[in-house]
Amino acid sequence: MQSNMKILIFLLVVLGDSFALQSNSLKMSLDFFQYKRLKYLCLVVCENEPWDLNMASAAANKSMFVTSVHFGRRRADEGRLLSSCLGQDQPTGVVVSASCRRLADVLQIASTELMLDTSHHWLIINDEEDEEIIMNIFDDLDIKIDAEITVAEYINSTSYVLKDIYNFGKESGGKVQVEKLASWSNKEGLIVTTDKYKYLRRFNYLDHPLKVLLFVKEQSIQNFDMVWMDDVQYNGNIPHSSKVSFYVLKTIAEVHNIKYKYKLAKIESEMINSSLKLDSSSYLHGQDLTPCVDINVEMYEIVDIVSPASSRMEANVYYRMPDTGVGNWDNKFLIPFTPGSWYCVIATMAMCTVIVALSAKLENRPASAQYGFFSVVATLCQQFYEDLSDDDAPPSSVTKKTSIFVTGASCLMIYNYYTSSIVSWLLNGPPPVFNSLEELSDSSLQVVFDDVPNVKIWLNNPDIYFNVRNSETENYFRNKKVFNKNDDQRYVDVYSGTSLIKEGGYALMLDKFVASLTIPKLLNRRETCELGAVQIIPPTALFVGLQKQSPYKEFLRWALNRLNERGHIHYAERRFYGTDLDCIDTLSRALTLGGGAPAFLLLLFGYLVSLVVLLGERLWWRISHRDDYY
């Protein structure tokens, strides 16, 4: 009897400890998830584990939404069941006991289904299992840097130690990292050892490699040199904007002890012709990230991006305004007379001369022919001609007055035609420029393009626009200036394109920051200031591109924000982009003077004729009054 009593007491003690232990596990779990501010829980329960009902009841009292999934005998749809339990739109906590006989299977399914990520907070409660066995399970899983896995190790009946589990990337040779996160006791509750942000705790990557893809021109792959990426000068083998992003990524690598492995790729024909056919892995060639992506609606379906922007771009069409010819940029008042118009003017002047001379003869005016000729010439010079005093002059006929009026009106219209706008243009007015792509499209200039990827994509995909709000204008521009040429005529390098616009008759589409680095070296100050520019690509942000569902997205977003706050991105832009071409469209000069030249020549002719008449009169007076001096 006494022996049976001892056995009963022993069983009560053991069961009491077991119930107390289970109660403490539940308290610790709820305290941990409250610290994580999670509202959704998934309970992964194996056979013969009755704790899920108690956990659900306790979590409901904490205003948490609870679902559960049971792993008993093996089933074909276990992955679907686990996904349904974890399929919340919000971060979800996951509780599983280390004593579960299917623990390795549960974690392997979660690893395969990409559920060991930042949105699923796993808590593995280890009350009695060997820690080494659990760690061996983690070695076989694809755990990454964004993992939220915590193991609660049993210390005694009233306390636990919580450990953070993560890996920088198993595929790249990373090892499982274990750090103490917190401790829990029934008396003091959860005591967090370090309350730092997750990536401040995972700050040092321990030379872990990340695979980076660099897009370069095909001809430069064989002789590519990484020194090019640090060179502030323009290099046509690589997109210049990618240098800024590369510099920012290199700064992140230095701060966090990351080791990059680079892969080079050319701009592939399938990417140019139809970017929608590519998936993330194909576009990035299996690499983790690429420094510079010009994001648009189509690209959102291919890659993930990391904000803030790591670089930017802007492009203009540069041209040298012609001084001659008629176009949308010319002042319409400066269109010169045609030869036929000038013949009409000469005929009118001759007719008026004859009529005035005949009228003077009928009036018995002396030297009627001379009077008719010089009257018309004087009127042409905006002067009056009188050879007799008012007392000696015969009365003027209506015919003569009408002829003089016709002559004066004709001359006045000619001068007004030419001088109404010439005066304002000659007073150091700004040069005429194209104000839009429409005006550039209607000009006689031939447009060529720098051979860069985003331009090729734009040219080969009519549904892609640099600025969607400007789609009609871009279509008009492409139809007028692009699609009527073959590829050999479209693309030029920066130096050849600058030489073409220097000669005149050509316009070059070029990145604004590349232009600021190259054009001043190829053109002198005056030639640079004579250039005009029409914006075709508005200021556009460029981002670091990642594979879809990349585990490094949250880390890179945090790291880029830290660099941006400290001015590193702004410094990189100033270092590689240089200064803008500040004198574009500012040079003052006389414009389209070829159209106004006939008016000035006519005025000069009038002055010369007046001078000849003056000299003739002086000579005639001296000859006629010679006897008065002797």
Cβ(319)–Cβ(507) below 8 Å = yes
**What SS3 class is residue 532?**
strand
| Helix (H) or strand (E) run with residue 506 in it | strand 506-511
- Give the percent of the chain with pLDDT over 70: 76
Name 406's bridge partners.
Answer: none
Rounded average pLDDT over 517-540:
86
Q: Is the pTM here over 0.95, yes or no? A: no
Task: Report the largest interatomic distance among the alpha carbons of the chain, rounded to a whole angstrom.
Answer: 179
Torsion angles phi and psi, residue 161, rounded to 5:
-115, 130
Share of the chain above pLDDT 90, in %: 17
Tens digits of residue pLDDT in 389-408: 555 455 555 555 666 666 66
164 contacts 179 by C-beta, under 8 angstroms? yes
Among 42-46, 264-268, 377-381, name the most confident range. 42-46
Q: Among 190-204, 223-237, 480-494, 607-621, which is the least confidently predicted range?
A: 480-494
Find residue 543's DSSP bridge partners: 293
Per-residue pLDDT reduced to its tens digit, 480-499: 877 766 656 678 888 888 88
* Euclidean distance between CA atoms 434 and 425, whole angstroms: 17
Q: Which of 45-49, 193-197, 212-216, 359-363 has the largest mean confidence? A: 212-216
Nearest by Cα to 496 from 314, 236, 322:
236
Report whether pLDDT(247) > 90.
yes
Question: Is the pLDDT at 82 greater than 60, yes or no?
Answer: yes
Using an 8 Å Cβ cutoff, are 315 and 512 in contact? yes
Which range has highest mean pLDDT (63-67, 301-305, 334-338)?
63-67
pLDDT at 228 over 80: yes
Query: How does the average pLDDT of the chain come out, rounded?
Result: 78
pLDDT, tens digit (0-9, with 9 covering 90-100), for 428-440 = 444 556 778 888 8
Is the pLDDT score of 423 beyond 80?
A: no
Query: Phi, psi at residue 454, to the nearest 5°?
Result: -65, -30
Question: How far from each other are the two terminal CA atoms of the chain, in whole angstroms?
Answer: 179
Length of the chain: 630
What token pair was written down for 201?
Answer: 């705790």
Closest CA to 333 of 595, 589, 588: 595
Which of 48-52, 334-338, 353-357, 445-449 has the weakest average pLDDT? 334-338
Q: Give me the pLDDT at residue 124, please.
A: 93
Beta bridge partners of 430: none
- The domains of the chain are located at 21-201, 332-429+595-629
Q: What tens digit of pLDDT does each residue of 568-626 get? A: 999 999 989 877 777 766 655 444 444 456 666 777 787 788 788 888 888 888 888 77
How would residue 16 be classed by pLDDT, with cut points 50, 70 and 90? Answer: very low
Q: Are 105 and 96 in contact (CB under 8 A)?
A: no
Residue showing tokens 């002789």: 223
Instruction: Determine contact, residues 92/86, Cβ cutoff 8 Å.
Output: yes
Architecture of the 21-201 domain: 3-Layer(aba) Sandwich (3.40)
Q: What is the pLDDT of residue 10?
A: 37
Q: Averaged over 61-68, what is the pLDDT?
A: 88
Distance CA 65, CA 564 (A): 38
Segment 376-387 mean pLDDT: 65
Confidence of residue 13 (pLDDT cuts 50, 70, 90): very low
Residue 339 — very low, low, confident or very high, per pLDDT cuts 50/70/90? confident
Segment 258-283 mean pLDDT: 64
d(CA 320, CA 522): 14
How, if at all, do strands 289-294 and 258-265 pair?
unpaired
If pLDDT is split at 50, 70 and 90, which confidence band does 463 have? confident
Q: CA angle, corner 442, sides to 438 and 444, nearest 5?
A: 140
What single-letter DSSP state applies at residue 337?
P
Cβ-Cβ contacts under 8 Å for 204 (sequence gap 6 or more):
256, 257
Residues near 588 by Cβ (< 8 Å), separated by ≥ 6? 428, 429, 430, 431
Of residues 196 and 309, more confidence is placed in: 309
Cα(372)–Cα(397) distance, integer angstroms: 13
Average pLDDT, integer, range 315-341: 62
Evaluate if residue 7 carries a pLDDT over 60: no
Q: What is the rounded CA–CA span in Å between residue 54 and residue 31?
A: 15
Q: Which residue has the higher pLDDT, 396 or 309?
A: 309
Q: What is the pLDDT of residue 56?
A: 85
